[in-house]
Amino acid sequence: MIRFMFENRERNRARAVADLVPVLARRFLGSPAPPARLPTVRELAQQHQSSPSSVHAAISRLIEAEAVGIEMRGRQGAFMVGRSVGRLWTIAENGRPLVIALPLASSPRYEALATSLKQLLSVVTTDVFLIFVRGSRQRLQAVREGRCHLAVMSSFAASQLCDSGDSVMAELPALTYNTGHRVFYTSPEDARGPLRVIIDRHSADQQLLTALEFAGEEVELVPAMGVQIARLLADGRGDAAVWTIDEMRVRWPDGVLDRPLSETVRDQVGDRDTRAALVGRSTDAASLGAIMSFLDGAELEQIQMDVMAGRVVPEY
């Protein structure tokens, strides 16, 4: 009986240590970059409702995995003097890859963005998994439901859709998301009757910009998917649509004209519709911040340009 109780106690302790390892890995990810002073073992035990022996054992496992390097400095205490962000991430996520939701690869620029993100972040953690989801609202919902860690959308969409539970982890330079929106049309915009404006309700950018551009005008909204916009304009089933220059270039039919967005809209939006933003959950901000610190905007731009110029084969 005594032996059974001892073995059962040891199994429970091992389970407690195993549960504590990813928790501490996530904490060390969110800590300042080394060298950083660490709380005492007793403080960590109190904060995580564990025992000092379990905390000590969990830290030892992280050291053995070469996820962190810790140095004792006498009365100053323990310092994290080195860390592997990739190993800490893998341990914190129990082996789950870094999952990023991107827009459908419907233009060369989106392909180049996917390639550059994959290439740069794979240096941090080798297990980066990209998923492609139509619509920034749907991508943000995937983050909120825990189906992915990050969602890529325009900075403009992020500013309109995010709430206190969301966090913009990175905002990339202008033209990383697209080269901007314009109004594409076939009928004179002063024609009689309501203007048939094509709208993709899955695209927050297009829906929001359409509402701004045609505010106060008599319009009839024609629901469609983004890939259908060019064809609907060419077939005369719509009169106008706000859409990206990049995607219209892929399938620009004869007879479709274009003009810039109104100055009022451009003043309000600026270049935020062209900037890529990566959004995660606020509760993950500290650990994701360690990953995002390796994302260099200038380097990403260069990879994008190389992909679009044909010097690099898209790979994602």
Q: Mean pLDDT, to the nearest integer, of 295-306?
A: 96
- CATH of residue 262's domain is 3.40.190.10
Q: Which of 62, 92, 122 is the last residue of a domain?
A: 92
Domain of 48, in residue numbers: 2-92
Please check whether residues 225 and 302 belong to one and the same domain. Answer: no
Q: Are residues 21 and 146 both part of a single domain? A: no
Sign of the dihedral through C-alpha 129, 130, 133, 137: positive
User: In the prediction, which pLDDT does 6 show?
Assistant: 42
| Residue 7: pLDDT band with limits 50, 70, 90 | very low
CA dihedral 71, 73, 76, 80 (to 10 degrees): -10
Question: What pLDDT sits at residue 260?
Answer: 97
Is residue 162 domain-resident? Answer: yes
Name the domain boundary from 92, 119, 135: 92
Please count the structural domains in the chain: 3
Task: Quote the tokens at residue 114.
Answer: 């996917």
Q: How far is CA 143 from CA 26, 37, 164, 196, 279, in A?
A: 18, 32, 14, 34, 8
| Boundary residue ending a domain (76, 92, 108) | 92
Residue 176 lies in a domain: no
Query: How far apart, in whole angstroms, are the C-alpha atoms of residue 157 and residue 175?
Result: 15
User: Does 237 fall in a domain?
Assistant: yes
This prediction has a pTM of 0.88
113 and 239 co-located in one domain: no
Lookup: tokens for 118: 């994959």
Structure confidence by residue, pLDDT tens digits, 214-253: 999 999 999 999 889 999 999 999 999 999 999 898 888 8
Question: Across the chain, how many H-helices and E-strands are there?
Answer: 13, 13
In a domain, 315, yes or no: no
Distances (CA, A) of 79 to 28, 40, 72, 139, 255: 11, 10, 6, 39, 67
Q: Do 242 and 199 lie in a common domain?
A: yes
Q: Where are the alpha helices (DSSP H) in the chain?
A: 2-29, 41-47, 52-64, 85-92, 108-121, 136-144, 155-161, 204-213, 229-234, 245-250, 263-269, 285-292, 297-308
pLDDT tens-digit readout, 35-50: 999 999 999 999 998 8
**Structure-block tokens of residue 151:** 């969602």
Same domain for 116 and 79, yes or no, is no
Q: Percentage helix, strand, coil, to 5, in the chain?
A: 45, 20, 35
Residue 236 forms part of a structural domain = yes
252 lies in the same domain as 189:
yes
Range from 18-22, 112-116, 124-128 that averages highest in pLDDT: 112-116
The answer to whether the CB of 77 falls within 8 A of the CB of 40 is yes
* 186 shares a domain with 236: yes
Q: What is the DSSP letter of 225?
A: -
Peptide bond before residue 173 is cis, with ω within 30 degrees of 0: no
Q: What percent of the chain has pLDDT over 90?
A: 81
Question: So what's the pLDDT on residue 5?
Answer: 39
CA 53 to chain centroid, in Å, comes to 38
With CA atoms as reference, report the closest residue to 217 among 255, 254, 185, 181: 185
Return the structure tokens found at 256.
């479709």
- Residue 83 placed within a domain: yes
Q: Tokens 């060369």 correspond to what residue?
A: 108
- Residue 100's H or E segment, with its range, is strand 98-102
